[in-house]
A = this chain, B = another copy of it.
Amino acid sequence: MTDLAAVKAALKTQAVETPSWAYGNSGTRFKVFAQQGVPRTPREKLQDAAQVHAFTGVAPTVALHIPWDKVDDYAALAKYAEERGVKLGAINSNTFQDDDYRLGSICHPDAAVRRKAVDHLLECVDIMDATGSADLKLWFADGTNYPGQDDIRARQDRLAEGLAEVYERLGDGQRMLLEYKLFEPAFYTTDVPDWGTAYAHCLKLGPKAQVVVDTGHHAPGTNIEFIVATLLREGKLGAFDFNSRFYADDDLMVGAADPFQLFRIMYEVVRGGGFTADVAFMLDQCHNIEAKIPAIIRSVMNVQEATAKALLVDRAALAGAQASGDVLGANAVLMDAYNTDVRPLLREVREEMGLDADPPAAYARSGWAEKIVAERVGGQQAGWGA
């Protein structure tokens, strides 16, 4: 028996952070298809993110990417965001787009390149101080393409050394979130390929270091909810980068490829106390061919729907079936929640929050899409490289 009022209350407090870069152009190595109306500045990205929050009510923060979102005055940027109803979220570093990083950044064989990378990370903490961001999110493109190219173990030593220096710089209330990724852009090794590696480093660094689970960064057949459950048990789950994938790191809308998996992940979050604790729920997606703001609204709604289903699981019934070894019964309890159509419930939640029950329709009616196409003419559209 689930308590619907409690479910609704939980859903109303949900917070999904959207990434500034998802509002800009993105693509594959083959082609970036530019879209009309795409932001040209960090402020325009914040405008778009504010739209997503205005229509969903659960996307109150925006992650920045440095240097793509570099500005002279971060306090002013934070103020600009707040005036539009959102706040600045995690600071994401970039140690992969400078020519110096061809063979890595913090793990590079050359100490000068490592110094440059660490300095960039320290600068990101400075920016956190200015923006009031609590989280430094670290993803390293570091790795190798060919066996023998570099020494696997020495790179781990360099990684540990660099992370330690940045960790020391963190202030009170600041965290370091370390992301892992199986492959890409490096193809033979990546220096943080799996949760075990990220966990081992975070454990040595200390309590302010936690692991990020990007749902697209695993080998085929990996049970992601198991990792979520384990990291929560270890107190080391810091954040999610949500997206979905069929094959590799496709960065599609979260829930688009395997909504049942997303539900199972959210169930472990709920079960492990992650929904009410200090786990950050972020999107990290690329809307290469679809309209960006509507896609992000849809993604936020997909997270909501999976969360609602997870909250609806009759945990007492489930525990009973599990304890008695009733395989089919326990599975049925879980599937009963999954098979529920939670869209009416979420419409109610939105109406109780003073929102339109149908965010995509409301956004479409708002005229924002037409407005930005008309107004954002000229200039340099934002993209991964800018």
Within 8 A of B (CB), among A196-226: 196-197, 199-200, 203, 218-223, 225-226
> For the complex, is A271 an interface residue (Cβ under 8 Å from B)?
yes
Kindly identify which residue among B221, B253, B298 contacts A219, using a CB–CB cutoff of 8 Å.
Answer: B221
> For the complex, is A99 an interface residue (Cβ under 8 Å from B)?
yes
* Size bin of chain A's contact surface: 35 or more
Within 8 A of B (CB), among A270-300: 271-272, 288-291, 294-295, 298
> For the complex, is A103 an interface residue (Cβ under 8 Å from B)?
yes
Task: Please determine whether B260 and A328 come into contact, CB atoms closer than 8 angstroms.
Answer: no
CB A249 to nearest CB in B, in angstroms, measures 9
CB A304 to nearest CB in B, in angstroms, measures 12
**Distance of A183 Cα from B252 Cα, bound (Å):** 13
Within 8 A of B (CB), among A233-255: 233-234, 245-248, 250, 252-253
9 interchain pairs (CB within 8 A)?
A30-B96, A103-B289, A109-B325, A145-B290, A149-B331, A193-B223, A195-B196, A196-B196, A260-B260
- Which residues from chain A sit less than 8 Å from chain B, CB to CB? 26-31, 33-34, 96-97, 99, 101-103, 109-110, 141, 145-153, 156-157, 182-185, 187-189, 193-197, 199-200, 203, 218-223, 225-227, 229-230, 232-234, 245-248, 250, 252-253, 256-261, 264, 268, 271-272, 288-291, 294-295, 298, 305, 318-319, 321-325, 327-328, 330-335, 338-341, 343, 360, 384
